[in-house]
């Protein structure tokens, strides 16, 4: 499958500019032969957290219609990164996913909120996981800080995911953590990791370096530090090959773990 990783300069607080830019980039990815596109985290508003009342997408309605229509028109799968949403009187960081018929197949509110950027002061944490199917492909999606919780990604792999999509606004000062954590999550779960980060006008803030990693941990592609739309050809059959060769899932001892963790 040909994947398009779209890392771009998310305009802080400029919702209209971001929707316009995302449509341009998805159409460009389609023209280049992409069958699936992946967007970064909070691409509609960025981290204008104090302005969520005016910027957040109410119930995700605008984004759902926007991405669904593009997916159906272009016959392309869209892992919609995430957008700020308002549901009731709460705000969330929400990933929306659509298959190439325009059908919504996933909705996920970020489970782990990053206190260092005050997310917990403005956003509510989600309670559900995010496994979904794109055609015949078993997949899952998480958001940014989630990758620091290996048990969370393992849960999605245990539920069948052969690829885990990661959308992020991962800051430059900790970009080495980003790279190491993503490789670790690919190796330990024996799955593909497709991770898309944002860029910004100041590279010291966000500097891209999105990644596609195969189940052995080999990096198939790494983005640069500026805006980039990359097409990466991925053979998801590699997952079965790796899991057969080293049967980690068969050798797990979940009863032991559960017993030892019951008081933790």
Q: In the structure encoding, which two tokens stand for residue 236, read together? A: 């998801």
Identified catalytic residue from 9, 86, 110, 162: 110
- Tell me whether residue 225 is one of the annotated catalytic residues: no
* DSSP bridge partners of 38: 5, 79
- Tell me whether residue 41 is one of the annotated catalytic residues: yes
- Tell me whether residue 110 is one of the annotated catalytic residues: yes
Nearest to 85 by CA among 76, 75, 95: 95
**What's the chain's length in residues?**
264
Radius of gyration of the chain (CA): 18
Q: Give residue for tokens 């189940």.
A: 215
Identified catalytic residue from 5, 9, 144, 214: 144
Q: Which residues contact 93 (CB under 8 A, 6 or more apart)?
A: 41, 42, 82, 83, 84, 85, 109, 110, 113, 119, 123, 143
Cα-based distances in Å from 172 to 108, 129, 165: 25, 28, 20
Identified catalytic residue from 41, 107, 119, 214: 41
The residues that are catalytic are 41, 110, 144
């Amino acid at each position: 499958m040909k994947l398009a990783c779209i890392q771009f300069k998310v305009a802080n607080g400029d919702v209209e500019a971001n929707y316009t830019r995302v449509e341009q980039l998805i159409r460009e990815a389609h023209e280049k032969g992409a069958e699936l596109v992946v967007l970064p985290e909070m691409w509609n508003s960025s981290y204008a957290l104090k302005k969520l009342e005016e910027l957040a997408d109410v119930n995700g309605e605008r984004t759902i219609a926007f991405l669904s229509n593009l997916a159906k028109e272009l016959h392309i799968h869209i892992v919609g990164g995430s957008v700020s949403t308002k549901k009731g009187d709460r705000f969330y960081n929400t990933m929306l996913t659509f298959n190439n018929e325009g059908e919504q197949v996933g909705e996920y509110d970020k489970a782990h909120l990053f206190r260092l950027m005050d997310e917990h002061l403005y956003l509510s944490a989600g309670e559900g996981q995010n496994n979904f199917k794109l055609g015949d492909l078993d997949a899952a999606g998480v958001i940014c800080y989630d990758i620091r919780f290996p048990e969370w990604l393992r849960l999605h792999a245990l539920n069948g995911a052969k690829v885990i999509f990661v959308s992020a606004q991962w800051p430059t000062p900790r970009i080495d953590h980003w790279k190491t954590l993503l490789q670790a999550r690919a190796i330990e779960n024996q799955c593909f990791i497709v991770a898309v980060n944002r860029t910004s006008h100041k590279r010291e803030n966000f500097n891209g370096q999105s990644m596609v990693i195969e189940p052995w941990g080999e990096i198939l592609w790494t983005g640069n530090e500026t805006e980039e739309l990359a097409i990466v050809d991925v053979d998801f059959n590699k997952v079965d090959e790796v899991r057969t060769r080293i049967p980690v899932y068969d050798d797990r001892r979940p009863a032991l773990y559960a017993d030892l963790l019951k008081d933790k």
